[in-house]
Amino acid sequence: MSRPNIRSRHHCPPTNKVFLVNNSVRTDETDLPVKGSIGLFTAISIIIADMIGTGIFTTTGMVARDVKSATTLLALWGVGGLIALCGALSYARLAAHMPESGGEYYYLSRMYHPLIGFLSAWISLIAGFSAPIAAAAVAFGIYLKRLFPAIDTQTTAVILIVAVACTQLSGSRRGFIMHNLFTLLKIVLLLFLVVYGFMATPVIAQPVLGPISLDTLFKPEHAVSLIFISFAYSGWNAATYIAGDVRNARKVVPLALLFGTLIVMVLYLLLNAVYLRYNDIEVIRNSSAEVGYVTAVGIFGSSGGGIIAGIIVVVLMSSISSMIIAGSSVVQATGKDIPMFAFLALKSCRGNCPLGVILQSGVAILFVLTSSFEQILYYIGFSISIFSMLAVAGSMAIIFRESSSFKPLRFVPPLLFVAFSLWSVIFSIKQYPSGLLFFFITIAIGTFLFWFSQRNGKASIAT
């Protein structure tokens, strides 16, 4: 039986065709960006842009609700950074063995079962990318409202998502250039806040940092704080989603994971120290999602704080851009593997995955219109932790296979990641059991979609 060919619905040259070959989607070279077109700098910038976004400018105020001292708050951010670094080291091993795009979807499908991989892609679409896009867009609206009080936060968030999605649809190269520029601007902003924040004299007494015990640090109520902090650190695995388009991916992706996560961890700790240098813990607690703006006002005054808020508004756009780039790769990888969803893998002549961008942006807009900011953050942190733990646990099997002799130090990063993540998830469920209900509803819908796709797979290919 001859294989059908499907022409892209976009206005592309007639030579750009997509074929269903051996139950997967193949595309002409003219329809794809050059294989290995992404270098180390762009891979690191994607990680940094994905990590530095809504979280560092908003979640410290939420974490402060359950934290009694500045020392505990900084220590929790340090623990969150350690968890992210352990995860990055574990994913580096996975990326070195499986240098293909798709992130957890690709890894879990190969290490466990296609259903587990599909569920991770389903969760990634909703909680891993669309919900963070919504959170970043809402934060954009919150900070922009400081500059223009008359605007509506929700409407502004929707407009931003549509605008960034249209930019990505205009072409992958243009999207990468915009993304890199915004990422550089974001790093410059944070470095400026950190350097100036430590040089200037605060208007209040600096908090005294004292010793802290493990019993104080790992209280059950701090588990929810770690969920929020984990959201701020999420994105440390972003390079694995586009690994198939990275030059020399076996070496470059692990390096990007390591350096990108380390850079962000240091910046986060320094910026939180600046927050505490200019604000009492009670002020941070009451600032909620606007801790970045409150601190900027403390450093520069009301007019200078408005300027910094404007810059924060601009750089939040790079987070959305980065998540759309990475998330559409997951959608495309799912379409390649599952015949029923093969249409999701179609690429335009501009080198992007338009249906992935549109689907992801649509779900993000739905989050903006139906959920509160805090609900979005909790759902993100809880859901993505589950599948990240499964992927990291799988990396330990690789360590067993590749080690000619037992080297226990290699198991430290994945074991620490799983232990901390499991502790955080278990106590979070006790505090907010409704989060588990929403998670199981999402999983049930995803399982049904996978079952339906398997039953209709052959019919899908035939048509």
257-305 pLDDT per residue, tens: 999 999 999 999 998 888 888 887 777 877 766 777 788 777 777 777 7
User: Looking at residues 316-327, what average pLDDT do you find?
Assistant: 73
Evaluate whether residue 250 is within a structural domain: yes
- pLDDT > 70: what percent of the chain? 77
Of 31-35, 109-113, 150-154, 220-224, least confident by mean pLDDT is 31-35
As a whole number of angstroms, the distance between CA 19 and CA 29 comes to 12
Give residue 209's pLDDT: 65
By CB atoms closer than 10 A (0-12, 13-18, 19+), residue 2 is exposed
Evaluate whether residue 207 is within a structural domain: yes
Check which CATH number belongs to the domain holding 249 and give it. Answer: 1.20.1740.10
Residue type, 190: L
Q: Characterize the bridge pairing of strands 24-27 and 5-7.
A: unpaired
Helix, strand, or coil (residue 199): helix
Read off the pLDDT band of 87 (50, 70, 90).
very high
Q: Which letter, b or e, does each residue of 306-320 get, where b requires 16 or more Cβ atoms within 10 Å of its Cβ?
A: bebbebbbebbbbbb
Whether 152 shows a pLDDT value over 80: the answer reads yes
Nearest alpha carbon to residue 122 among 427, 336, 454, 439: 439
For every residue of 14-81, DSSP letters joined together read TT-EEEEETTEEEE-GGGSPPTT-B-HHHHHHHHHHHHSSHHHHHHHHHHGGG--SHHHHHHHHHHHH
As a whole number of angstroms, the distance between CA 140 and CA 296 comes to 16
User: Does residue 41 or residue 31 have the better pLDDT?
Assistant: 41
- pLDDT > 90: what percent of the chain? 7
User: Looking at residues 100-129, what average pLDDT do you find?
Assistant: 83
Whether 23 shows a pLDDT value over 50: the answer reads no
As a whole number of angstroms, the distance between CA 318 and CA 47 comes to 11
Q: Cβ(412)–Cβ(85) under 8 Å?
A: no
List, in order, residues 6 or more apart from 127 with CB less than 8 Å away: 379, 380, 383, 384, 442
As a whole number of angstroms, the distance between CA 259 and CA 240 comes to 14
Nearest alpha carbon to residue 246 among 92, 120, 81: 92
Evaluate whether residue 455 is within a structural domain: no
Evaluate whether residue 196 is within a structural domain: yes
Out of 62-66, 123-127, 165-169, 419-423, the most confident range is 419-423
Q: 406 vs 94, 96, 141, 396, 400, CA distance in Å? A: 19, 20, 52, 12, 8
Phi, psi of 99 (to 5 degrees): -80, 60
- H or E stretch at 386: helix 373-402
Q: The tokens of 378 are what?
A: 């909790």
Evaluate whether residue 10 is within a structural domain: no
Give residue 259's pLDDT: 93
The number of domains in the chain is 1
Q: How far is CA 231 from the centre of its chain?
A: 8
Of 107-111, 222-226, 248-252, 406-410, least confident by mean pLDDT is 406-410
Give residue 266's pLDDT: 92
Evaluate whether residue 1 is within a structural domain: no
Q: What is the pLDDT of residues 421-437, one digit of tens each?
A: 888 778 777 767 776 77
Of 73-77, 156-160, 228-232, least confident by mean pLDDT is 228-232
As a whole number of angstroms, the distance between CA 292 and CA 59 comes to 10
Terminal-residue alpha carbon distance, the chain: 12
Q: Cβ(313)–Cβ(147) under 8 Å?
A: yes
- H or E stretch at 5: strand 5-7
For every residue of 153-170, DSSP letters joined together read HHHHHHHHHHHHHHHHHT
Evaluate whether residue 397 is within a structural domain: yes
As a whole number of angstroms, the distance between CA 355 and CA 347 comes to 8
Evaluate whether residue 381 is within a structural domain: yes
Q: What is the pLDDT of residues 365-421, one digit of tens each?
A: 888 887 666 666 666 666 777 888 889 988 888 877 766 656 777 888 899 999 888
Q: Which domain holds residue 427?
A: 35-446
Question: What does the mean pLDDT of the chain come to?
Answer: 75
Q: What is the pLDDT of residues 197-214, one digit of tens each?
A: 888 776 655 555 666 766
Q: The tokens of 368 are what?
A: 């903006």
Q: 334 vs 130, 202, 387, 393, 450, CA distance in Å? A: 16, 51, 16, 22, 11
Give residue 265's pLDDT: 93
Whether 118 shows a pLDDT value over 70: the answer reads yes
Helix, strand, or coil (residue 428): helix
Helix, strand, or coil (residue 6): strand
For the whole model, what pTM was predicted?
0.74
